[in-house]
A and B are shown apart, each in its own frame.
Chain A
Amino acid sequence: MGNGWHGKLLRVNLSEKICTIEALNMDWAAAYIGGRGLATKYLTEEIDPTTDALGTDNKLIFATGPLTGTYGAANGRYMVVTKSPLTGTVASSNSGGYFPCELKYSGFDMIIFEGKAEQPLYLKIHNQHAELADAAHLWGKTTDETEDQIRAEFHGDAKVACIGPAGENLVRFACIINDKHRAAGRSGVGAVMGSKNLKAIAVRGTGGVTTANPSGFREAARETLKMLRTHPVTSEGLPALGTAILVNIINQSGALPTNNSQFGTFDKAESISGERLVQTYLKRNKGCMGCVIACARVTKLTGSRFTGSGEGPEYETLWSLGATCGISDMAAIVKASYLCDEYGMDTITIGSTVACAMELYQRGLITEDEVGMPLNFGDADVMVKLVEMTGKGEGFGNKIGLGSYRLADSYGVPELSMTVKKQEFPAYDGRAIQGMGLEYATSNRGACHVRGYLVSPEILGLPEKLDPQAIEGKAAWAKAFQDVTALVDSAGVCLFTTFSIGVPQVTRLLNAATGSNHTDDQMMVAGDRIWNMERLFNLKAGITPAQDTLPKRILSEPLPDGPMKGIVSRLPEMLPEYYSVRGWGTDGIPTAVKLQQLGLV
C-alpha cells in the first residue's frame, strides 16, 4: 500500500486449521494508529470481554504498527493483544528484537489467532504463504530449543516467537519469547497461546515496508536519529549500563521495594546494580533491529555454581529476583533470569510472587513442608529452585504459577500481594513516587511501569524534574504519559526513544509514513482514544473502578526506611482529579460526552 501498511492481516483459525488473508481495516488503522491501539480495536469488536481468557473464544493478536520495520526511532516493535488470564483485563505486551520487522517484511501487518488447536501446532509464514504445522515434537521444549529446532526444519533465517513449558502449563504470567531473549512479557499472553495449543510462530519475510512520503520520512528520521545519538541517556547511559543503571538510582531515592515492599531501600543494592553487572557478567550491549540505542545486555555466567549465557537481566529483573526477595546474589539472579526466558515467564511477576511467598513463610502461613524447603528472604538458591519448579510445573511451583494475588488469597491474605488488578508492581514503590502509585492504580493492565512511566519526571528529571512527593498536577502528568505511551506502542516505536524524542517527532514520522497530516494534538487524542477503549473493555469485563486502588500496605503502612521514611501513598487525593482530567465521571466511568468526543460511540 506504500503507507507504512501492507493492508493485510492473517487470520488463523486454529480449530479449523485454516489461514485466510483479509484486508486490514484502514479506517480503524487511521483512528487507532496500529499495534496496541488497532489490535485492541479488533479484540473489542471480536470477543466478549467477559469470555474466559484461557477459553476457546479468546483471541490472540500479534500486531505491528505503521512504523514497525521502518527506521529513525528504534522502529522494531510489535504488540501481543488478548484478554489476560492474570488480570481479566485487556492485555497488550510489547516486544522488540528481530521478529517484529520480519513479520512486517512478510507482507502481513497483523495476525489474529482464534479457536483452539486439537493438537500442538505452530504457524509458518514465508512471505505471503502461511501454513500450520504439527508441533507435537516441540511441546515441552524450552524457548531456546524451540527456536533452534524450527530454524533447522523450516528456514535458517526465520525469526521465531514462541512459548516455553510455562505457557504450555498455563502459568498465569507466562510470556511469549521472540528471538530467544526478547519478551512480550506481562499479563500472561503466553498462557493464552498455550491454551490454544499454539507453540510458535516462525516468519521469514524478505519484502520491505514503504512510506507514503519517502523524502519527508528521511528528513524526519534524520532528526530523530540525531536526537537519539546526542541525548546523553540514549547515546551513553542506556548503551553502557542498560536499564540496570536504575538499581542504585532508585535505591538511593528510597523507592526500591524490598522484601515484598516491607522496605523502600535494599542495603545490598550495590551487589545487584548495573555497575556491578558491567564488572561481572556483561559481555557487550546489543540492539533490537535498527536500534541505535542498543540497551540490551549480552551476558555469560562464569563460575562454578551457575552456568549459561543469554541476555539480561534488565533492571526490573534485578529487582524482582533480587531486592524484593532480599537477594543480593547476582549470579543467582542472572541464572534465574535465563531460566525465565527459557521457560517463558515474566520475571517481574515471578519474582514478586516468590517474594510474596517469602512473606507468607515469614508470617508462618506457608510451611517448610508445603514448599519442600525453607523459604527465607535472601535465600538465592531457593529462589532459583522455585523459578525452575514453576517453569516445569512441579510441586509448590504450581502455586507460584498462579501469581501472587491468587497465592496470597489462598492463604486468606490477598493484601500481602503487591498487585493492582492482580498484576504485580514493577520495581518502584508507589509511596516513594506518588505519581507512580497513581499510575499503577489506574493502568489498564494492572500495575505496570510501561503504561505511564512517571519515574522519568519524578526521579530522572526527564523531560523536567517533578518532586516525587508532590501530588499537585500528577493526575494530568499521569494522563499525558499514559496517552503518549499508547501512541508510541501503537506506532511500533520503542518506548525508550521517548527519553530523548517526543510527540512531535513521533507524529512527524507517522505522518510521513502514512501520508497523513495529523497535528501533535490529534495524536494525543488518538492516545486518549486508545486508553478509553481499553478502559471500556475492562469495564465490560467486570473490572470495576473500585479496583483502581493499591494494596493496603502502600496506602496505610508508612515506608519504614530511607529518604522517604514515614510516607504512604496519597492515592485517595489524586484519584478524583485523575478521573476529572480524563473527562470521566466521579464514578470513574467515561462520560457519554467524552466517548462522543473520541468517536467511541
Chain B
Amino acid sequence: MIRLQFYGLLRLMLSGKESLELPWHEGDTVGLLLEKFQAVEKIPVTGKLIDEHGTLHAGTIILLNRRNILHLKKLDTQVNDGDVLALFPPGAGG
C-alpha cells in the first residue's frame, strides 16, 4: 500500500481528511498515483498540484518518504510498496 498524506488547501478541500491508502502496483510512479488519487475522489483535487498539462505548479511540494520529488525524477519517480507520499499544494510564509 501507498500512504498519501494531504496538507494545506488539499486537506481543507477534502474536509479535513489527513491521509488515504492506495494499493501499490509494480511500476507505479508518483504521476500514476496522482491519477489514481483523482480517480477515487469526487472533486477535482490534483489540479491543486499540477496543471492541465500534467506539470507541477510552481511551489507544489511532493515529498516521497520526505524527499522532494523535484530532486528525484519528478512525477516519473518510482514508488515502492510502503512508501509515503506527502502532497502540499503551493503555500508559503515566513
Q: How far is the CA of A462 from the CA of B18 in the complex (A)?
A: 25
Are the CB atoms of A238 and B93 closer together than 8 Å? Answer: yes
Provided the pairs A252-B66, A252-B86, A254-B66 are in contact, do residues A245 and B12 lie with their beta carbons within 8 angstroms? no
Q: How far is the CA of A274 from the CA of B7 in the complex (A)?
A: 9
What chain B residues lie within 8 Å of A270 (beta carbons)?
18
Provided the pairs A274-B8, A275-B8 are in contact, do residues A449 and B94 lie with their beta carbons within 8 angstroms? yes
B81 to chain A, nearest CB (A): 20
What chain A residues lie within 8 Å of B9 (beta carbons)?
236-237, 240-241
Are the CB atoms of B71 and A467 closer together than 8 Å? Answer: yes
Q: How far is the CA of A231 from the CA of B92 in the complex (A)?
A: 11
Is B82 positioned at the interface, with any CB of A under 8 Å from its CB? no
Q: How far is the CA of A316 from the CA of B90 in the complex (A)?
A: 19
Is B63 positioned at the interface, with any CB of A under 8 Å from its CB? yes
- Nearest neighbor of B10 in chain A, beta-carbon distance: A275
Q: Which of A237, A275, A315, A449 sits near B90, CB closer than 8 Å?
A: A237
Count of chain B residues with a beta carbon within 8 Å of a chain A beta carbon:
28
Are the CB atoms of A249 and B94 closer together than 8 Å? Answer: no
Q: Which of A233, A316, A465, A563 sits near B92, CB closer than 8 Å?
A: A233
Are the CB atoms of A279 and B16 closer together than 8 Å? Answer: yes
Proximity string of chain B (62-79) to chain A, C-beta cutoff 8 Å, 1 when within and 0 when not: 010111101100000000
Is B80 positioned at the interface, with any CB of A under 8 Å from its CB? no
Q: Which of B8, B60, B65, B89 sits near A461, CB closer than 8 Å?
A: B60
What chain B residues lie within 8 Å of A135 (beta carbons)?
none
Q: How far is the CA of A231 from the CA of B9 in the complex (A)?
A: 14
Most chain A beta-carbon contacts within 10 A, residue among B9, B67, B91 = B91
Are the CB atoms of B94 and A233 closer together than 8 Å? Answer: no
What chain A residues lie within 8 Å of B67 (beta carbons)?
563
B71 to chain A, nearest CB (A): 6
Is A278 positioned at the interface, with any CB of B under 8 Å from its CB? yes
Q: How far is the CA of A194 from the CA of B58 in the complex (A)?
A: 44
Is B61 positioned at the interface, with any CB of A under 8 Å from its CB? yes
Proximity string of chain B (17-53) to chain A, C-beta cutoff 8 Å, 1 when within and 0 when not: 0100000000000000000000000000000100000
Are the CB atoms of B94 and A460 closer together than 8 Å? Answer: no
Are the CB atoms of B68 and A245 closer together than 8 Å? Answer: no
Are the CB atoms of B59 and A461 closer together than 8 Å? Answer: yes
What chain B residues lie within 8 Å of A456 (beta carbons)?
92
What chain A residues lie within 8 Å of B68 (beta carbons)?
253, 461, 465
Q: Which of B48, B89, B90, B94 sits near A243, CB closer than 8 Å?
A: B94
Q: How far is the CA of A252 from the CA of B58 in the complex (A)?
A: 19
What chain B residues lie within 8 Å of A122 (beta carbons)?
none
A417 to chain B, nearest CB (A): 23
Provided the pairs A237-B9, A241-B8 are in contact, do residues A246 and B91 lie with their beta carbons within 8 angstroms? yes
Provided the pairs A249-B61, A249-B88, A279-B16 are in contact, do residues A465 and B8 lie with their beta carbons within 8 angstroms? no
Is B3 positioned at the interface, with any CB of A under 8 Å from its CB? no
- Nearest neighbor of A496 in chain B, beta-carbon distance: B94
Q: How far is the CA of A252 from the CA of B11 in the complex (A)?
A: 16
Are the CB atoms of B93 and A242 closer together than 8 Å? Answer: yes
- Nearest neighbor of A449 in chain B, beta-carbon distance: B94
Is A42 positioned at the interface, with any CB of B under 8 Å from its CB? no
- Nearest neighbor of B88 in chain A, beta-carbon distance: A249
- Nearest neighbor of A235 in chain B, beta-carbon distance: B90
- Nearest neighbor of A245 in chain B, beta-carbon distance: B91
What chain B residues lie within 8 Å of A562 (beta carbons)?
66
B72 to chain A, nearest CB (A): 11
Which residues between 556 and 588 of chain A lie within 8 Å of chain B, taking CB atoms? Answer: 562-563
Proximity string of chain A (450-493) to chain B, C-beta cutoff 8 Å, 1 when within and 0 when not: 10010110011111010100000000000000000000000000
Are the CB atoms of A249 and B89 closer together than 8 Å? Answer: no
What chain A residues lie within 8 Å of B58 (beta carbons)?
231-232, 461-463
Provided the pairs A237-B8, A275-B7 are in contact, do residues A253 and B89 lie with their beta carbons within 8 angstroms? no
What chain B residues lie within 8 Å of A231 (beta carbons)?
58, 90
Are the CB atoms of B66 and A462 closer together than 8 Å? Answer: no
Provided the pairs A245-B8, A252-B86, A465-B70 are in contact, do residues A238 and B59 lie with their beta carbons within 8 angstroms? no
Provided the pairs A279-B16, A461-B59 are in contact, do residues A314 and B93 lie with their beta carbons within 8 angstroms? yes
Q: How far is the CA of A241 from the CA of B6 in the complex (A)?
A: 14
Q: How far is the CA of A460 from the CA of B57 in the complex (A)?
A: 11
What chain B residues lie within 8 Å of A450 (beta carbons)?
94
A269 to chain B, nearest CB (A): 11
What chain A residues lie within 8 Å of B12 (beta carbons)?
240-241, 275, 278
- Nearest neighbor of A459 in chain B, beta-carbon distance: B61
Q: Which of B18, B63, B86, B89 sits near A232, CB closer than 8 Å?
A: B89
What chain B residues lie within 8 Å of A249 (beta carbons)?
7, 61, 88, 91
25 A–B contacts from the bound complex (CB under 8 Å): A232-B58, A232-B59, A233-B59, A236-B89, A236-B90, A237-B9, A238-B92, A241-B8, A243-B93, A244-B93, A245-B93, A254-B66, A275-B7, A275-B11, A278-B12, A279-B16, A295-B93, A459-B61, A460-B90, A460-B92, A461-B58, A461-B59, A465-B71, A467-B71, A499-B92
Which of A's residues lie within 8 Å of B, judged by CB?
A: 231-233, 236-238, 240-246, 248-249, 252-254, 270, 274-275, 278-279, 295, 314-316, 449-450, 453, 455-456, 459-463, 465, 467, 495-496, 499, 562-563
Give the 4 A-B residue pairs with the shortest CB-CB distance, closest first: A243-B93, A237-B91, A245-B91, A563-B66
